[in-house]
Amino acid sequence: MKIRTRLFLVFFVLVGLGFYQLVNIMVDDLRPRYLATMEESMVETATILSSLVASQMEDDTLPTADLHTMIDLASHWNVVARIYEMDKTRLNLRVTVTDASGIVVYDSDEGRDVGSDYSQWNDVYLTLRGKYGARATRKDPDDPTSSILYVAAPIMRGGDIIGVLTVAKPAGSIEPFRETAERRITRYGVLVAILVILLGMAISLWITSPIEKLTAYANAIRDGKRATLPKMGHSEVGRLAQSFEEMRDALEGKQYVEQYVETLTHEMKSPLSAIRGAAELMEEDMPPEQRRRFMRNIRGETDRIQTLIDRLLLLSALERRKGLQDVEVITISDLVRDVLDTMTPQLQTGQIEVVTTLDTEKGLRQLAPP
């Protein structure tokens, strides 16, 4: 499996799990937050209504007539309120008033529980004792959305608590808002996850692209092609690429030395053959001038072998060289002439005729057996 694929899979799994957990936490946290917001507004409503009742007290009787009138008018509400994606057309609030002993004296739900004892319910029980009273009760024990939230506020006369006003509201009223928020969070979470995954793909390409370039460079070196070191910057991959380049220079230097040794060894055969041929000819009778000429050839070829040996001794320095140091201009015609002079004994022995056209000033030069 490629490194790019591994990076992408790891990134995909980590990002996927991370976003899945994040969305789940946010969705699970929505309902408690909405309930807390609803409870906060119910506290204010209960406090205002309890203050209204307390302001109308003239004796020890809890006045609920005006409260009844006000809530009755509100229950016939005919105004449509567009709250985000939900239309609110009716009052979804229940108000009860209990006296100092916890007995219900007013119930906005058509007086359903008037006379009932609420003294043991937390909202009434705690409020009568000067504490914050609230409770949540499910209509269906198995359905968490069937809960009804009760928030109470004391009805005060002087410094005494003479009653409790409780506001009740179904917790299910927040469900449309929670579901809308959940859909939006999920939708945007998926969108952001896709964007992050695409970013992860780009990052994996960014990380693996230098590695692929370096791999291609190494393959080109392996195949004997002339490759140019890609630009990698000064990162770890860049330093690795520089090491590859230095290794290539070292390998090419060794290869050059091997080829050069082979060439020099092959070149030694020519002067040895020339010396051998001249020596064989000198065993025969010949004019003194021709004998002196062969002696010069033997000395020249001996010097040539000595030069080749000296070059072999200098090969160790070539491994550290990366380019030419001593550049000389060579005349091709002189080089060819020297080679032909060196090979004269072999040419005469084999009765070979060589014609050159490099020397334009002297025209054709012909070497033939005497």
Total structural domains within the chain: 3
Q: Angle at Cα 134 formed by Cα 129 and Cα 136, nearest 5°? A: 145
List own/partner pairs for 68-74 with CB under 8 A and 24 or more apart. 68/106, 68/108, 71/95, 71/108
pLDDT at 7: 67
CATH number for the domain that contains residue 130: 3.30.450.20
Can you tell me the mean pLDDT for 28-40? 79
Can you tell me the mean pLDDT for 269-287? 75
The span from the CA of 345 to the CA of 335, in Å, is: 18
Tell me whether residue 235 is in a domain.
Answer: yes
pLDDT at 253: 56
Q: Is the pLDDT of residue 189 over 90?
A: no
Lowest-confidence region among 83-92, 204-213, 250-259: 250-259
Whether residues 27 and 162 share a domain: the answer is yes
Tell me whether residue 25 is in a domain.
Answer: yes
Whether residues 173 and 314 share a domain: the answer is no
Lowest-confidence region among 21-25, 68-72, 157-161: 21-25
Whole-prediction pTM value? Answer: 0.51
| Domain extent for 370 | 330-370
